[in-house]
Amino acid sequence: KPEAAEELGLPADVPVMLGAADGVLANFGAGAIEPGVAALTVGTSGAVRAAVRAPAADPSASLFCYPLAGDLWIAGGAVNSGGVVFRWLKEKLAPDLAAGNDGADGYSRLVELALSAPPGAGGLLFLPHLSGERAPHWDERARGVFFGLSLDHDRQHMLRAGLEGILFGLRSVANALAGLTGPPREFRVSGGFVRAEPINVPAIVASAKSVVLADSEESSALGAAKLALYALGMSASLEEAAGSSNLTGRCEPNPGHAAIYGELYGMFRSLYARTADSFAELAAFRARG
C-alpha cells in the first residue's frame, strides 16, 4: 500500500510475496520436490522432509505437512538435536581441538577424532536429546544418554557415538516419513553440520540409495529466492523454479556399515522407549527444585 511504502521508504511498486517456513523452503532450494527425493537439513537443529502433491496427514501426529504453493505440500519432521549437540560434544569432550595450520577448523578435527573409532563406537549408544526432542517423539522431557559405557571406551568413542546419535535421531524421522510418502531413493543434504565431508551422514545412507550434498548450506534462503521468481512469473512452473539445484558430491551406501547401523538403530529406538518414563520422573524431580 502507498502509505506502507512511504513509511518504509520503498517504492510503491515493489512486489511483496508471501513466503514460507524455512524448512519448507529448504526443500525448494535443494530442488527436492520430485517423488523419491527427500531433503535432510542439519543446522543448529535438523529435519527430514519430502514433497507430496496432496496433504498427507500423519495418523500418529509425529510429522507435519505444510503447503508450499499450488498443489505442492512438504511433509516431514524436525529435531532439536542437530548441530547444537555437535557443539556441546566439542565444548565438553574436546575443547582442546582448535583450528590448525592445515586449514581444518576445530569441528573438522572433532570429526576426524570421532571417526578414528569404529562404526558403532565399540558398542556405545547416545541419545542426543539434550534439550528435549521434537519429531518423532515430541517429548520435551527427553534428555541425553550415553548407554553402554565401559572401561574400554575413551572420548573418540563418545564423540563417534554422539555424531551417530544425532544421525540416528534423523533416521527416526526419515523412517516415519517413508511410511507416509514412500521410501526415498535419494537425500539432498544441506546445512552447516554436514560441511565436514567425513561425516557423510553414515546412519542415514542405510535407508536410501544415495546421499547428495547440495552446493549451498543456505538452501532455505535459496528456496525463498526461487519462490519469489515463481511468484513473479519468471519461472513457468514450480518444477522449473526449483530446478535440479547444484550438487557437489554423492555418497553411496557402504553395505558393511548399513548392516552395522541397521542393528544399532533398532537398539537406539528401543532405548528411547525404555527410558521415556524415567525422563518423566527426572523432569518431576527437577521441577521440585
CATH of domain 17-287: 3.30.420.40
- Determine the pLDDT at residue 286: 95
Q: Are 39 and 48 in contact (CB under 8 A)?
A: yes
- Determine the pLDDT at residue 220: 87
R_g (Cα) of the chain, nearest Å: 20
Q: Which pairing describes strands 46-52 and 64-69: parallel, antiparallel, or unpaired?
A: unpaired
Answer whether the bond into residue 253 is a cis peptide, omega within 30°: no
- Determine the pLDDT at residue 43: 84
- Determine the pLDDT at residue 195: 60
Burial, 8: exposed, middle or buried (Cβ in 10 Å; 0-12, 13-18, 19+)? exposed
- Determine the pLDDT at residue 244: 61
- Determine the pLDDT at residue 189: 83
- Break the chain into its structural domains and give their ranges: 17-287
Joined grid coordinates for residue 241: 523454479
- Determine the pLDDT at residue 205: 59
- Determine the pLDDT at residue 101: 65
Whole-model pTM: value is 0.90
Residue ranges in the chain modelled with pLDDT below 50: 197-198
Joined grid coordinates for residue 49: 522432509
